[in-house]
C-alpha cells in the first residue's frame, strides 16, 4: 500500500544544536497540529543522526534518514559510512542518487544499483532519486533519461525488494531554484515512472511504491502537487530547514 511521505533533506546544513532545535520544533508541531498519517522522515547530516534519533524517540510516524551510504560493508574507505552504521544510529531510510551526489561526486546508476541493493540488504529503505537536467527536458528527452535511471539502478531488484524502495522524482532544474514543476508536469512523470514499474514487474507492484516529488516544494504549492494521483508526497530541501514551513508542507495532506 503506497504511503504518503514527507522527507526533509537538510543537506550540509545545521550545527548539532541547530539541528536539534529544528528537529524538536518539527516533532512538537507535528504532534500538536498534523491530522494525517503521512510518514515524516528527517534527514540530517550523518554526524547528527544519533542526536536527532534520541529526540524522535518512539514516535510512530517520524523516521530518521541519511543522505548517502557506501556500497561496501566496511573497510579502508576513509570518510565513508556504511549502511549497517546508519542502522546502528537509528536510521531507517537513506537517500541514494540525489542529483548533487550524481553531479559533484560522479555517482552513476551502476554504482547506485549496488548502493540500493546494499541498503536493502541491511534493512534500510532507499529513497532513490531520479530526474532530468534542464537541457534534457528542453530537448524532450526527460522520459528517456528517467527511464534509464530507474531501469539501471532499480530493475535488478526482485519484486519483493523493489516494493521496499521509495522513488523521488526530482527535476534538477527545480531543485533549490525556486522553480517548481507544475502539478501536471509532476503527475505526468510520476505516472510515467509508475507505468514503467508496472511493465517490468506488475501493476500490483507499481501500486505499492511511493513516488515523491522534489524540487522547490513550499507550503504554498504542496497541496496542489500532493493532490496529483501519482504523487505520494515530497522530498523537501530548502523548506525542510524551517520548522514552520516543513510542518505546513506535512499538513498539506490534512
Ligand atoms: C532536494 O534537494 O532534494 C530538493 C528538493 O531541494 P529544494 O526543495 O530546495 O528544491
| 143-164 pLDDT, tens digit each | 999 999 999 999 999 999 999 9
98 in catalytic set: yes
What is the number of other CB atoms lying within 10 angstroms of the CB of residue 88? 12
How do residues 114-126 score in pLDDT, each as one tens digit? 999 999 999 999 9
Whole-structure pTM value: 0.97
State the pLDDT confidence band at 66, using cuts at 50, 70 and 90.
Answer: very high
Residue (of 176, 177, 180, 165) closest to 226 by Cα position:
180
State the pLDDT confidence band at 62, using cuts at 50, 70 and 90.
Answer: very high
**Cα distance between residue 107 and residue 248, in whole Å:** 33
3-state secondary structure string across 230-242: CCCEEEECHHHHC
Mean pLDDT for the stretch of residues 120-142: 96
User: What is residue 214's three-state secondary structure?
Assistant: strand
Higher pLDDT, 172 or 58: 172
User: Is any ligand 1 atom within 6 A of the Cβ of residue 41?
Assistant: no
Q: In the chain, what are the domains? A: 5-253 (3.20.20.70)
Largest CA distance in the chain: 48
Mutate to test the pocket of ligand 1, among 214, 231, 233 (most ligand atoms within 8 A of CB): 214
The full length of the chain comes to: 254
Match 547506485 to its residue by C-alpha cell: 112
Match 545545521 to its residue by C-alpha cell: 14
Report which protein residue has its CA nearest ligand 1's atom 6.
Answer: 237
Strand pairing class (5-9; 211-214): unpaired
142 in catalytic set: no
Mean pLDDT for the stretch of residues 94-103: 98
Q: What is the pLDDT of residue 60?
A: 86
CA 42 to chain centre: 10
How do residues 1-60 score in pLDDT, each as one tens digit? 899 999 999 999 999 999 999 999 999 999 999 999 999 999 999 999 999 999 998 888
Question: Secondary structure of the chain: what % helix, strand, coil (to 5)?
Answer: 50, 15, 35
Q: What is the pLDDT of residue 58?
A: 84
Q: Is the pLDDT of residue 176 over 90?
A: no
Which residues does residue 95 pair with via DSSP β-bridges, in sequence order? 127
How do residues 178-236 score in pLDDT, each as one tens digit? 888 899 999 999 999 999 999 999 999 999 999 999 999 999 999 999 999 999 999 99
**Cα distance between residue 120 and residue 92, in whole Å:** 10
User: What is the distance in A from the centroid of ligand 1 to the CA of 169?
Assistant: 11
189: left (phi over 0), alpha (psi -120 to 50) or beta: alpha
Which residues does residue 94 pair with via DSSP β-bridges, in sequence order? 66, 126
User: What is the distance in A from the centroid of ligand 1 to the CA of 175?
Assistant: 5
Q: What are phi and psi of 249, to 5 degrees?
A: -65, -45
The sign of the dihedral angle between the CA atoms of 117, 120, 124, 130 is: positive
Amino acid at each position: 500500500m503506497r504511503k504518503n511521505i514527507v522527507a526533509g533533506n537538510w543537506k550540509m546544513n545545521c550545527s548539532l544544536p541547530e539541528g536539534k532545535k529544528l528537529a524538536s520544533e518539527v516533532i512538537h508541531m507535528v504532534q500538536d497540529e498534523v491530522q494525517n498519517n503521512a510518514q515524516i522522515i528527517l534527514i540530517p547530516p550523518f554526524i547528527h543522526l544519533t542526536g536527532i534519533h534520541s529526540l524522535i524517540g518512539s514516535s510512530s510516524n517520524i523516521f530518521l534518514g541519511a543522505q548517502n551510504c557506501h556500497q561496501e560493508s566496511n573497510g579502508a574507505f576513509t570518510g565513508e559510512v556504511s549502511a549497517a552504521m546508519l542502522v546502528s544510529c537509528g536510521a531507517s531510510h537513506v537517500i541514494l542518487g540525489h542529483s548533487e551526489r550524481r553531479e559533484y561526486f560522479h555517482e552513476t546508476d551502476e554504482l547506485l544499483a549496488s548502493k540500493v541493493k546494499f541498503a536493502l540488504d541491511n534493512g534500510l529503505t532507499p529513497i532513490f532519486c531520479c530526474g532530468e537536467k534542464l537541457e534534457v527536458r528542453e530537448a524532450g528527452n526527460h522520459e528517456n533519461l528517467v527511464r534509464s535511471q530507474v531501469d539501471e539502478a532499480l530493475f535488478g531488484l526482485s519484486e519483493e525488494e523493489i516494493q521496499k524502495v521509495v522513488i523521488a522524482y526530482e527535476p534538477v532544474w527545480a531543485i533549490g531554484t525556486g522553480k517548481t514543476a507544475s502539478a501536471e508536469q509532476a503527475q505526468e512523470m510520476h505516472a510515467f515512472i509508475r507505468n514503467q514499474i508496472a511493465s517490468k514487474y506488475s501493476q500490483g507492484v507499481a501500486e505499492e511504491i511511493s513516488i515523491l516529488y522534489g524540487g522547490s516544494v513550499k507550503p504554498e504549492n504542496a497541496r496542489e502537487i500532493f493532490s496529483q494521483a501519482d504523487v505520494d508526497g515530497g522530498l523537501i530541501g530548502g523548506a525542510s530547514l524551517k520548522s514552520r514551513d516543513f510542518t505546513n508542507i506535512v499538513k498539506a495532506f490534512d
